[in-house]
Chains A and B, each alone.
Chain A
Amino acid sequence: MPDAVLFYVFAAVAIGASLLVIGQRNPMYSIMLLIASFGALSALYIQLDAPFVAMAQIIVYAGAIMVLFLFVVMLLNAPQEDAAQWDRTHPLRRPGMGRFGAMLAALLIVQLVWALVRVNDAGTAVGARGDVADLSSVRSVGRVLFTDYMFAFEATSILILVAMVGAVVLAAREERR
Chain B
Amino acid sequence: MDQATLRFLIQLGIIGLTFFMLINASALLVLAERKIMGFMQQRYGPYLVGPHGLLQPLADILKLLFKEELRPKDADKWLFTLAPIVSVTAAFAAFAAVPWGAETTFFGLLDTPVKLGVADVNVAVLVVFAITSMGVYGIVLAGWSSNSKYSLLGGLRSSAQMISYELAYATALAAVIMLAGSLSLRSVVDAQAGYWFGFIPRWYLFLQPLGFIIYVIAGVAETNRAPFDFPEAEQELVAGYNTEYSSVRFALFPQAEYINMTTMSAVATDLYLGGWHGPFLERFGLGWVWFLVKVGIILFGYIWVRWTVPRYRYDQLMQFGWKWLFPAAVLNLIATAAFILYFNA
Does A touch B (CB under 8 Å) in the complex? yes
Known contacts A51-B121, A67-B163, A138-B183; 5 further A-B pairs (Cβ under 8 A): A55-B123, A59-B129, A59-B133, A63-B136, A64-B133
Contact, CB under 8 Å: B123 / A63: no
Q: Is B10 an interface residue (CB 8 A)?
A: no
Q: Which residues of B contact A (CB under 8 A)?
A: 76, 78-79, 82, 121-123, 126-127, 129-131, 133-134, 136-137, 140-141, 144, 152, 156, 159, 163, 183
Give 9 A-B contacts (CB < 8 Å), ordered by A residue: A28-B79, A51-B122, A51-B126, A52-B123, A58-B134, A59-B130, A67-B136, A70-B144, A71-B140
- 1/0 per residue A54-93: CB within 8 Å of B? 0110110011100100110011000000000000000000
Q: Which residues of B contact A44 (CB under 8 A)?
A: none
Interface of B is mostly: helix
Q: Which residues of A contact B (CB under 8 A)?
A: 28-29, 32, 35, 51-52, 55-56, 58-59, 62-64, 67, 70-71, 74-75, 136-138
Contact, CB under 8 Å: A67 / B140: yes
Task: Compute how far the CA of A67 lies from the CA of B134 in the bound complex, rounded to whole angstroms.
Answer: 9
Q: Which residues of B contact A28 (CB under 8 A)?
A: 76, 79, 144
Q: Which residues of B contact A29 (CB under 8 A)?
A: 78
Task: Compute how far the CA of A138 lies from the CA of B144 in the bound complex, rounded to whole angstroms.
Answer: 37
Q: Give min CB distance, A79 to chain B, whole Å.
A: 14
Q: Which residues of A contact B82 (CB under 8 A)?
A: 32
Q: Which residues of B contact A35 (CB under 8 A)?
A: 137
Q: Shortest 9 CB-CB distances between A and B: which pairs?
A: A63-B133, A55-B126, A58-B130, A59-B130, A51-B123, A55-B130, A74-B144, A55-B123, A138-B183
Q: Give min CB distance, B224 to chain A, whole Å.
A: 16
